[in-house]
Amino acid sequence: MKTESPSLTAPSDPVPESIRNRRDMVFLVLSGLFLGTLGMLNILGISRFVNVLEWGDVAVTVAVGVLPYPLTFLCTDLISELYGKDRANQVVWVGLLLNVWVLFIVWLGGVLPGFEPTDPTTGAILRDSAGRLPVFFEIRNLTFGAVTASMAAYLTAQFVDVYLFHFWKELTNGKHLWLRNNGSTLLSQLVDTVAVVLITHFLAGALPIDDGQALWPQLLRFIGYGYVFKLVAALLDTGPFYLCVFWLTHYLQMESPIARPKRPRLGQRS
């Protein structure tokens, strides 16, 4: 007999109220971490590029917004495991709405009148001696580029992550937790990295591209660096993912996939 994935409980659920409250609170914490990280990385996004690793003449360069991004996949994987595919997809859609909300606030802050010096003829915001706009408008321009790129990549990558997570889960009959955690995250982050780099460059023109060098080798380098960082982060989160699933299934009184009994084979009685 097939059982449904644990989800936020209905009023008629026999689970004690204290456990229902725990499940609600954990879902809120995971969703909050996911959405808060998403909002932060979209604002900081491509405002700065940093070297996370230097090895001889090779420097692994990633945007600041990439640093917390692996956490979003850990959160959706935990939500998928504990609360089911539907709940994970709902959080992904709320994340899209959050992107739109951030974009609207940043746009609104730029169109309302302020106290920056403007050109008396055109009304355009004046740049300083270095050719820079006031801080807010520099962030605004970068945010537009980052959010536009991330919205397209985000939807694709997160839905790929949720779909693959449950694909591996069904294929292995709920076993091999490491496979669905890493298999879904690594493939979805490859999709995300390629989309973000290409959209950020061709739509926003925000990557630090050297005009004196060939374009595509530089883009491939950004894709490779970004993906290597995410790949390492994804592999490192396997341990925390196991620990969180093991602890949370006990804390929330859910069935643990780590210690799940084997299903009877065809022809055997359950």
What domain count does the chain have? 1
What mean pLDDT is predicted for residues 166-181?
Answer: 70
- pTM attached to this predicted model: 0.70
Q: Output the six-digit token pair for 230.
A: 């995410």
Has residue 270 got a pLDDT over 70?
Answer: no
180 inside domain = yes
Residue 3 lies in a domain: no
pLDDT digit string, tens, across residues 89-145: 899 889 888 888 888 888 898 888 888 888 788 877 888 777 777 878 877 877 776
Q: How many percent of the chain have pLDDT more than 70?
A: 78
Q: Is residue 6 part of a domain?
A: no
Record the tokens describing residue 78, joined without a space: 């935990």
Asked if residue 11 belongs to a domain, the reply is no
Range of the domain at 242: 17-251
> In this structure, is residue 38 part of a structural domain?
yes
d(CA 104, CA 184) in angstroms, rounded, equals: 31
**Does the residue 79 lie in any domain?**
yes
Tens of pLDDT, residues 192-210 = 788 778 877 786 676 778 8
Q: Cα–Cα distance between 8 and 84 in angstroms, integer?
A: 10
Structure-token pair, residue 175: 């076993």
**What mean pLDDT comes out for the span 163-185?**
70
Residue with tokens 């390492």: 232
Could you tell me if residue 9 is inside a domain? Answer: no
Q: Is 101 exposed, middle or buried (0-12, 13-18, 19+ CB in 10 A)?
A: exposed
Asked if the structure places residue 235 within a domain, the reply is yes
